[in-house]
Chains A and B, each alone.
Chain A
């Protein structure tokens, strides 16, 4: 075939691997001269370690994972960089029918409102504690994941101490629905289609979604071994261009049917195409017959979804500090800032004449409406990007933000 570049990539069976999958399967990578090999993995730890030892050049990765890696929080330390993001949003918080029934008594409605459902969950947790019952157990996919941090952010903002009032455990995405059905966990935060899977099975209710907790918030990224990227800059740039075209293709409603069928294949998710549709349309069945359309539920391309904002890396960093993963020092903040690489993104996509943001970081939560931003040539629309509690994260004022991020509810 005469490919110019060989790239070996890892991915986990989640819908947000779609940009990487379509780059290969629809032929965007080949068009850029990249022979892309995709390896389905069973754990995020494998992905991280296989990048570290050079089995994979790059992979579908949890947004905070490369930051954690570079901060020395993982066993096999190797510099991993993020030159591209694989989408915004896409996660939900799903609870068991029993927990949902309890929350409903305390005022939860099937409206996905994080403040309302969070308040109801808090009331249920206190009621259970008073009755001497075990704390509820929630699962996330990895400690250094957007899921862990957004779940904790949501709970804390609703007056629930995620480290004391509930138990948080780790469960791999494909096992979530089964663990909930078997009663081993009471709720979980995971990407699609593993929430809709519980709704379809009749064993869970979607309580709220990432897109409502923090609209247009970062999720999976392309994690790249830094040593490889420095050695193969042209291969990386070619792949980033392929991913750009793939992301645009994934966003186009005309391709939804084909994309759902592709992701449904056993090599990728192995679940029916119908189960891939909620993430594509944003029309979610919440359980018990309720349905809701969610704006910006999952964006693979629109709203600069693939831009690796330094403010995203830094927000993940503030949450690592907040929950005791690492101490805040200027050096650590610098490591987090340098992990995401918008410079590589710009350099690779500039020849395409596509719209590029004017800055490398933004004040998260500042845009309350969709806002066109200055960019050369084509136009680019950002946001809205608000946190549900009205919080603002200014990446230039990390210390101030951390001061507001303490968990301050007085414990009885």
Chain B
């Protein structure tokens, strides 16, 4: 039995994430994937594409507008959010946690939609992991800068070597059960307040 290929529309204002999802869908053999970043004029696009499945980011505030439009245009006779399986609470929750919502055109079998949603969920998760790692790396860099400044302050004001300055910071952090970067930040803030301009 030859199945008609599914037309999938991905609506995501985040271009990077949209392209990650699109790539995943293509790898999974879905050829008819359209990505839309901006919902203005979406009604016409949907009429042209006639998608079987619409995947949208839950953070998109235009969800209410889209839902209403589907109802009016009858493109999606009854908008259905994330239709894995109604009984499958866990996968619905996973979809929501990952920020995915999907609208499925009436009559489409659920088992054909599930792989698409599973893929979208894993790509969403991969994207947020990436974003988190980027954020952590940025924090790490910021921390290093603050620690370097704190070391400089100690070296100058206490006449310490760089190693000794770092050891002092670490010891203080251990004694107070705080992070070195927190101790360094306090020192930098204090030094700014007492800054040479004021004294």
Chain A positions within 8 Å of B, measured between CB atoms, are 42-46, 49-50, 53-55, 75-76, 141-143, 169-172, 174-175, 184
20 intermolecular pairs with C-beta atoms under 8 Å apart: A42-B59, A43-B63, A44-B64, A45-B63, A45-B67, A45-B101, A46-B58, A46-B63, A46-B101, A49-B82, A49-B96, A50-B96, A53-B89, A54-B93, A76-B81, A142-B68, A169-B65, A169-B68, A170-B68, A175-B61
Q: Give Cα distance in the complex from A55 to B68, angstroms.
A: 23
Contact B64 A75 (CB under 8 A): no
Which residue, of B68, B93, B101, has the highest number of chain A Cβ atoms within 10 A?
Answer: B68
Contact B64 A142 (CB under 8 A): yes
Contact A43 B96 (CB under 8 A): no
Among the listed A46, A75, A143, A184, which residue makes an inter-chain contact with B78, where contact means beta carbons less than 8 Å apart? Answer: A75
Q: Give Cα distance in the complex from A54 to B96, angstroms.
A: 11
Among the listed B58, B65, B79, B81, which residue makes an inter-chain contact with A172, where contact means beta carbons less than 8 Å apart? Answer: B65
A14 to chain B, nearest CB (A): 13
B14 at the binding interface (Cβ < 8 Å): no
Contact (A170, B64) CB under 8 Å given A42-B59, A53-B89, A54-B89? yes
Contact (A75, B79) CB under 8 Å given A50-B96, A55-B96? yes
Contact B64 A45 (CB under 8 A): yes
Q: Give Cα distance in the complex from A49 to B64, angstroms.
A: 12
Main secondary structure of the interface of A (DSSP, over half): loop
Chain B positions within 8 Å of A, measured between CB atoms, are 40, 58-65, 67-69, 71, 78-82, 89, 92-93, 96, 101
Contact B61 A174 (CB under 8 A): yes
Give every chain B residue within 8 A of A54 (Cβ-Cβ): 89, 93
Give every chain A residue within 8 A of B93 (Cβ-Cβ): 53-55
Closest A residue, CB atoms, query B83: A75
B90 to chain A, nearest CB (A): 10
A172 to chain B, nearest CB (A): 4
Give every chain B residue within 8 A of A50 (Cβ-Cβ): 96
Q: Give Cα distance in the complex from A326 to B143, angstroms.
A: 59
Add 19 more A-B contacts to A76-B81, A143-B68, A169-B65 (CB < 8 A): A42-B58, A42-B59, A43-B58, A43-B61, A45-B63, A45-B67, A45-B81, A46-B63, A53-B93, A55-B93, A75-B67, A75-B78, A75-B79, A75-B80, A141-B64, A142-B68, A170-B65, A172-B64, A184-B40
Give every chain B residue within 8 A of A142 (Cβ-Cβ): 64, 68
Which residue, of B59, B61, B67, B92, has the highest number of chain A Cβ atoms within 10 A?
Answer: B61
Contact (A43, B78) CB under 8 Å given A49-B96, A54-B89, A54-B93? no
Contact A171 B81 (CB under 8 A): no
Q: Give Cα distance in the complex from A42 to B82, angstroms.
A: 17
Give every chain A residue within 8 A of B71 (Cβ-Cβ): 143
Contact (A43, B81) CB under 8 Å given A143-B68, A170-B65? no
Q: Give Cα distance in the complex from A53 to B93, angstroms.
A: 7
B60 to chain A, nearest CB (A): 7
Q: Give Cα distance in the complex from A49 to B96, angstroms.
A: 9
